[in-house]
C-alpha cells in the first residue's frame, strides 16, 4: 500500500470522530420555553417540556472584570440592569447590531431587526427585536417582543415580553422565558 493510499484511508476518520462527538453532545439537548401560561410549550425535539425555574441571577460570572447582576436577590429586574448599563447602543441604519464584548452591561435603544450578542457574562436590555441571537455563555438578555430567538451556548437567560417566539436552543442550561 502506497503512502497516498494510506492518507486517503485516514482522512475520513477525523470527520467520523467529529460526527460521533456531535451526535453524542446533541442527543440529550432539548429546549424548554416558559411562556407564562400554565401549559408549558413543547420542545423542539417533540419531547414533553419541563418547567425550568428561572436561573438565579447569582449564577452570572463574577470573574475579575465581569459585572454581577444588579439586585441579584430579586430576579430579573429590567430597571436595575438599565440603570447599571455601562453603554447605550443603537442598531445601525440596516436595523442590525452586533456586540462582541465580554462582560458588558448594555442598553439597546430602539426597535431592531437583528441583534447578535456574541459574548460571555454580558447583560443586555433591549426594546422590540425581530431576530435575537445569543452566542456564548452566562449571558442575560431582557427584551421586548421578539419573533425569533437563537441561543447557542450554556447558562444563558433570555426573557421576552409578548407572544412566544420561534426558538432554537443549541446548548445546555439555557433559560428562555416570557412574561
Cα 56 from Cα 33, distance rounded (Å): 17
Q: Is residue 159 part of a domain?
A: yes
Position 27 pLDDT exceeds 90: no
Q: Is residue 15 part of a domain?
A: no
Q: Is residue 7 part of a domain?
A: no
Contacts of 118 (CB under 8 A, 6+ apart): 98, 99, 100, 133, 135, 136
pLDDT-derived band at 78 (thresholds 50, 70, 90) equals: confident
Boundaries of domain holding 133: 31-178
**What is the structure's pLDDT at 4?**
54
What is the average pLDDT across 1-9?
A: 53
Structurally, the chain folds into a number of domains equal to 1
Mean confidence (pLDDT) of the chain: 73
Q: Is residue 20 part of a domain?
A: no
Q: Choose between 171 and 21: higher pLDDT.
A: 171
Q: Is residue 118 part of a domain?
A: yes
**What is the structure's pLDDT at 5?**
53
Q: Is residue 163 part of a domain?
A: yes
Q: Is residue 19 part of a domain?
A: no
Q: Is residue 23 part of a domain?
A: no
Amino acid at each position: 500500500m502506497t503512502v497516498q493510499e494510506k492518507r486517503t484511508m485516514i482522512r475520513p476518520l477525523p470527520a467520523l470522530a467529529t460526527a460521533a462527538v456531535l451526535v453524542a453532545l446533541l442527543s440529550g439537548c432539548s429546549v424548554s420555553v416558559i411562556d407564562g401560561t400554565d401549559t408549558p410549550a413543547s420542545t423542539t425535539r417533540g419531547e414533553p417540556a419541563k418547567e425550568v425555574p428561572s436561573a438565579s441571577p447569582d449564577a452570572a460570572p463574577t470573574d475579575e472584570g465581569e459585572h454581577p447582576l444588579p439586585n441579584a436577590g430579586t430576579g430579573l429586574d429590567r430597571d436595575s440592569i438599565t440603570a447599571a448599563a455601562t453603554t447605550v447602543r443603537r442598531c445601525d441604519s440596516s436595523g442590525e447590531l452586533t456586540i462582541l464584548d465580554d462582560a458588558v452591561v448594555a442598553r439597546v435603544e430602539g426597535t431592531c431587526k437583528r441583534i447578535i450578542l456574541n459574548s460571555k457574562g454580558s447583560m443586555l436590555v433591549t426594546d422590540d427585536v425581530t431576530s435575537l441571537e445569543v452566542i456564548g455563555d452566562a449571558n442575560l438578555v431582557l427584551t421586548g417582543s421578539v419573533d425569533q430567538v437563537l441561543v447557542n451556548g450554556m447558562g444563558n437567560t433570555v426573557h421576552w415580553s409578548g407572544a412566544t417566539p420561534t426558538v432554537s436552543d443549541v446548548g445546555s442550561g439555557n433559560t428562555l422565558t416570557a412574561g
